[in-house]
Amino acid sequence: MGSSMKPLPSNRWWCKDMVAVVTGGNTGIGFALVRQLAMLGLSVVLTCRDVSKGNKAVESLRLQGLHVSFFRLDVLDHSSIKDFVSWLRETLGGLDILVNNAAVSFKEIGENSVVHAETVINTNFYGPKLLTEALLPFFRRSKHMSRILNISSRLGSLNKVSNPTVRKILEDEENLSEERIDNIVQKFLEDVRNGVWNKNGWPEVWTDYAVSKLALNAYSKLLAKRYDGHGLSVNCYCPGFTQTSMTHGKGKHTPGYVADIGAKLVLLPPDQLPSGKFYVTSNKFLDSKL
């Protein structure tokens, strides 16, 4: 297995002391990103909720000659986040890269149910937000800039929303705030509880998943603006239709393919690194409303 290791790029600007944290790293895109970043010579922390699955993932990488750290992390659990942040601070001193990859969806392809809307919103939006806020003080914002890459989706693009009130709030970037984003999310959950979500202008495809990514995109844009010029880049990346457990193995892309792109995005040279952008699998970014 070790013979498949690629030589490190001759033009790399990073070093092995740079720490990258990947959530949901035991399978799919997350696992592929952990592997790719470790192959590129970073110190990688694989996190996931299930200890046995995390240990199995780490062992499989060890057999490939890659050594990564593992820590159990449930982004829905405040105490789990606190434990992880304490461990990271004491063990590695901080971090340079965060890839928020952990996410769920309960749909079959082509189905559009919101039965698990609250869980989807909590896992895909509030979880990454809570973790990010907890880790913000520990990013080592050096001359190379720290980086956050949120794995998102074009399903959460603003053009998928026909609700005029929601569109108006999200298009008003000058007055966008965490409170306003939260109000939108809570309004969606209220519509779900009242059974009117399907006629109130929310995204029509994979609705709860799309709204969770809509909120994550908006929060990413807000965070990028907050830290503009302060050593932290925040971007989103849509892998596209990828062959993972979420898509039941169907898709145009393999996890390895999109992880290669994701790693390139998160390791852009400091002088080429934007913030507040939405990338797609074509390796180009859309300078548009998130």
Give the residue numbers marked as catalytic.
209
- 14-26 burial, b at 16+ Cβ within 10 Å, e below that, comes to beeebbbbbbbbb
Cα–Cα dist 69/52, whole Å = 14
Cα–Cα dist 26/51, whole Å = 10
Is-contact 103 49, C-beta < 8 A? Answer: no
Closest by CA to 233, choosing from 178, 271, 259, is: 271
In this structure, the dihedral spanned by the alpha carbons of residues 56, 244, 25 and 20, taken in order and rounded to 10 degrees, is 140
Collapsing DSSP states into helix, strand and coil, what is residue 288? coil
Is-contact 54 61, C-beta < 8 A? Answer: no
Is-contact 233 147, C-beta < 8 A? Answer: yes
DSSP per position, 219-276: HHHHHHHHTTTTTEEEEEEE--SB-SGGGTT-SSB-HHHHHHHHHHHHT--GGG--SS
